[in-house]
C-alpha cells in the first residue's frame, strides 16, 4: 500500500466520522466477508429536498480492518444530500476515492462498504420516515449478533465479497 493511502487511512481512523448506531434510521444494511470475517453495517436516514428523497445522514459500525473503517467514514460523509439513485450508482472505487486507489488485497474492504450501502437502499421501503427498516427483533441488533447469523446480503444472494488473490 502506498504511503499516501496509508497516511490517509491513519488520518481517517484517528477521527472517524459518523461511527455508531443510528437509532432513528430509516434503513439499515449489513454485509460480511466470509473470507476475512470482517463485517460492516450502515444506517441511512432520509429526508426530502426539493421534492426528492435524499439521504439526510448515514452512519456505520464495523468489525473490520482500518481500510474498511476509513472508507466507511468517508462514504458516510459523501452520502449526505445524495438522492437514492445517486447513492445506488456509487461504486466501491468511488466510495474509496478520497483515499486514493486501494491495493488489490484491500479492494474488498471498499466493496464491503458498497455492499452495506446497497443493502440499506434495498431494504428501504420507499417512504420517507414512514416505515423504519431498522433492525427488528428478527434481525441481529448488533454487529456482534450479526456475526452469529449470515449477513442479509449474503443470505439473499446480494453482493458477494470476493477476496483478491495475492501475488
Ligand atoms: Fe476484510 Fe478489510 S474488510 S481486510
The total of other beta-carbon atoms located within 10 Å of residue 157's CB is 7
| Helices 66-79 & 107-123 angle (0-180, nearest 10) | 40
pLDDT value of residue 146: 55
Domains of the chain in start order, with CATH, are: 3-126+136-148 (3.90.1010.10)
Is pLDDT of 117 > 60? Answer: yes
Mean pLDDT over residues 148-163, rounded? Answer: 46
Q: What is the pLDDT of residues 25-63, one digit of tens each?
A: 999 999 997 768 899 999 999 999 999 999 999 999 998
Q: What is the pLDDT of residues 20-35, one digit of tens each?
A: 999 999 999 999 977 6
Query: How high does pLDDT run on average in the chain?
Result: 81
How far, in Å, CA of 38 to CA of 58, rounded?
Answer: 20
Nearest 5 degrees, angle CA 162-CA 95-CA 139?
A: 65
pLDDT value of residue 145: 62
Asked if 128 and 53 touch (Cβ cutoff 8 Å), the reply is: yes
Residue nearest to atom 4 of ligand 1 (CA): 65
How far, in Å, CA of 161 to CA of 112, rounded?
Answer: 7
CA of 36 to the centre of ligand 1 (A): 6
Mean pLDDT over residues 102-111, rounded? Answer: 92
Choose among 131, 114, 147, 144: nearest CA to 29: 114
How far, in Å, CA of 152 to CA of 139, rounded?
Answer: 9
Q: Which residues pair with 44 in a beta bridge?
A: 27, 58
Residue owning grid cell 456509487? 90
Residue 72 CB less than 6 A away from ligand 1: no
Residue 27 CB less than 6 A away from ligand 1: no
Name the percent of the chain lying above pLDDT 90.
Answer: 59
Give the E-state strand segments of the chain in sequence order: 27-32, 39-49, 52-63
Name the percent of the chain lying above pLDDT 70.
Answer: 74
pLDDT value of residue 69: 95
Residue 107 CB less than 6 A away from ligand 1: no
CA of 35 to the centre of ligand 1 (A): 9
Which of 34, 37, 38, when mutated, tests ligand 1's pocket best, judged by the most ligand atoms within 8 Å of its CB? 38
Amino acid at each position: 500500500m502506498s504511503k499516501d493511502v496509508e497516511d490517509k487511512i491513519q488520518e481517517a481512523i484517528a477521527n472517524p466520522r459518523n461511527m455508531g448506531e443510528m437509532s432513528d434510521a430509516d434503513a439499515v444494511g449489513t454485509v460480511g466477508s466470509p473470507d476475512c470475517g470482517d463485517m460492516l453495517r450502515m444506517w441511512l436516514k432520509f429526508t426530502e429536498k426539493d421534492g426528492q428523497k435524499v439521504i439526510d445522514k448515514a452512519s456505520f459500525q464495523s468489525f473490520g480492518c482500518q481500510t474498511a473503517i476509513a472508507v466507511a467514514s468517508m462514504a458516510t460523509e459523501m452520502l449526505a444530500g445524495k438522492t437514492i439513485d445517486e447513492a445506488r450508482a456509487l461504486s466501491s472505487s468511488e466510495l474509496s476515492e478520497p483515499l486514493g486507489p486501494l491495493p488489490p488485497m484491500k479492494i474488498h474492504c471498499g466493496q464491503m462498504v458498497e455492499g452495506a450501502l446497497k443493502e440499506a437502499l434495498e431494504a428501504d421501503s420507499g417512504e420517507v420516515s414512514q416505515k423504519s427498516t431498522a433492525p427488528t427483533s428478527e434481525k441481529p441488533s448488533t454487529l456482534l449478533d450479526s456475526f452469529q447469523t449470515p449477513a442479509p446480503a449474503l443470505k439473499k444472494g446480494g453482493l458477494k465479497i470476493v477476496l483478491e488473490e495475492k501475488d
